[in-house]
Chain A
Amino acid sequence: MTVQTEVRSAEKGVVLITPPLPGTTNMEIDEALLAGATPDSPVVLRIYRWKEPTLSLGHFQSVEDRDEEPGLSNVALVRRKTGGGAILHDHELTYSLILPARSAAEKGHSEKLYRSVHLAIAKGLQSLGWDAVLSETCTCSTATNPKQEPFLCFSRRSPVDLIVGQYKIVGSAQRRTKLGLLQHGSLLLRSSTLTPNLQGLLDLPNSNQENLEERSRSVGIHQTQDEIEFWTKQLVLWLQSGVSQVVECGWQPAALADFPTLEGMKAC
């Protein structure tokens, strides 16, 4: 495999932060952004949440497999175009990255993008006092070593997953077409009553709680909504830093209305 090693330069990047939307709309937006990608399109970094707790299945996962998690049987359901395991989108932030392809010859996943993005988030979390590192372990099923993986993404481990202690905090998955690369990822902020065995970042020990509280106060965090804004801003900065290892972008804010391919979704 020849991995793309050079950093693509001088590209336009846009940051799209959308309000909480239904699961189908969230997925349709990402799919439309990938389907509308051209070599001249900007790199898109989108941060979003979900209107209600929603279970997103990995592209090839079976709906019946959610019986493994009885607490999720009545949760809203949607299927991602990206691979990997199921994610309960409750107390978390979701991101998507769309990188237009330079050629149809690019195939498969880009470990460099996974790794650089997760390393940037780990570095950011370390600065806030969490012992965040890459997992460097694997529960992966392969053609030569088939096995049943856990249903939930956050119960699985791949070497580039981001963990704090024994808990996975960030996981990502990709879809690569000849038009471009879509990477989905999730930052788990807090445990959900629907998946009590999983812990979120804010449930886990922080060696510098005082510093975090001071930083939070400095940006005016007093309520849940402020907390979401704080973590959204942090995630944008870390993702931009991670993406810059693969594509050097000049970033600008954007809105759904700026994308002609999302014409039918502007009412959302």
Chain B
Amino acid sequence: MSIVPENLRYLDSHEWAHVSTDEPGIATVGISSFAVEQLTDLVFMALPKVGQEVTAGHEFGEVESVKAVSPMYSPVSGTVVGVHEELVNRLDSLNQDPYGNGWIMKVRMSDPSELTKLLDWPTYKHQCENS
């Protein structure tokens, strides 16, 4: 099943989290199409490592667009169990499919209730339209 933005939860800093019914304890994390658009041309991405602990609201990686570096913040806390290594060499995937092939990491959540603190689609969309 493809991921659609309406079904995701968001940080106000534009990272999304998705939890599949197949893997209820695992959150897939990426950055929104709005963020990709704001970042413009991406040239480099520093990914986390499998086994790394991440904390909700804290940095887990960085992305460089033309001459500007921006940290990426994790929407959930837990342990990184999957990293989209190929993405570093195919950053255009983020432009084409930010919610599918543009996924960045998978996190085994230590506190799934954190998901409820994230923005739902209408709230996030409203933020983007008014920023």
* Chain A interface residues (CB < 8 Å from chain B): 1-2, 4, 59-60, 81-84, 103-109, 114, 140-144, 146, 158, 172-178
CB neighbours of B69 from chain A (8 A) = 59-60, 81-83, 174-176
* CA of A218 to CA of B92, assembled, Å: 55
* CA of A114 to CA of B40, assembled, Å: 15
The answer to whether A83 and B92 have CB atoms under 8 Å apart is no
CB neighbours of A178 from chain B (8 A) = 13, 71, 73
* Chain B interface residues (CB < 8 Å from chain A): 11-14, 34-35, 37-44, 46, 62, 64-71, 73, 90-92, 94-95, 127-129, 131
Which of A2, A81, A103, A109 contacts B66 (CB under 8 A)?
A109
* CA of A84 to CA of B65, assembled, Å: 9
* CA of A173 to CA of B43, assembled, Å: 14
The answer to whether A107 and B41 have CB atoms under 8 Å apart is no
The answer to whether A83 and B91 have CB atoms under 8 Å apart is no
The answer to whether A143 and B68 have CB atoms under 8 Å apart is no
* CA of A174 to CA of B68, assembled, Å: 4
Q: List 22 A-B contacts (CB under 8 A).
A: A2-B128, A2-B131, A4-B131, A59-B69, A82-B67, A83-B43, A83-B66, A83-B68, A107-B35, A108-B35, A108-B38, A108-B70, A114-B67, A140-B41, A140-B66, A141-B43, A143-B95, A158-B66, A158-B67, A173-B67, A175-B69, A177-B71
Which of B40, B67, B91 contacts A172 (CB under 8 A)?
B67
* CA of A4 to CA of B130, assembled, Å: 10
Contacts A103-B12, A104-B12, A178-B73 given; does A60 touch B44 at CB 8 Å: yes
Contacts A177-B71, A178-B13 given; does A108 touch B127 at CB 8 Å: no
Interface secondary structure of B, over-half rule: mixed
Closest to A149 in B: B43
The answer to whether B13 and A107 have CB atoms under 8 Å apart is yes
The answer to whether B13 and A109 have CB atoms under 8 Å apart is no
Q: How far is the CB of A60 from chain B (nearest CB, A)?
A: 5
The answer to whether A109 and B12 have CB atoms under 8 Å apart is no
* CA of A51 to CA of B12, assembled, Å: 41
Closest to B43 in A: A141
Interchain residue pairs A-B with the least CB separation, the first 7: A109-B68, A143-B91, A142-B41, A108-B39, A108-B38, A174-B68, A143-B92
Q: Which of A143, A173, A175 has the most CB of B within 10 A?
A: A143
The answer to whether B131 and A144 have CB atoms under 8 Å apart is no
Contacts A2-B131, A103-B131, A107-B14 given; does A143 touch B70 at CB 8 Å: no
Closest to A160 in B: B67
Closest to A172 in B: B67
Closest to A138 in B: B66
Contacts A107-B14, A143-B43, A178-B73 given; does A83 touch B64 at CB 8 Å: yes
CB neighbours of A177 from chain B (8 A) = 70-71
The answer to whether A1 and B68 have CB atoms under 8 Å apart is no
The answer to whether A60 and B67 have CB atoms under 8 Å apart is no
The answer to whether A59 and B62 have CB atoms under 8 Å apart is yes
Q: Which of A84, A105, A141 has the most CB of B within 10 A?
A: A105
CB neighbours of B64 from chain A (8 A) = 59-60, 83
* CA of A146 to CA of B64, assembled, Å: 13
The answer to whether A105 and B43 have CB atoms under 8 Å apart is no
CB neighbours of B66 from chain A (8 A) = 83, 109, 140, 142, 158
Closest to B94 in A: A143
CB neighbours of A144 from chain B (8 A) = 41, 92, 95
The answer to whether A176 and B14 have CB atoms under 8 Å apart is no
The answer to whether A142 and B67 have CB atoms under 8 Å apart is no
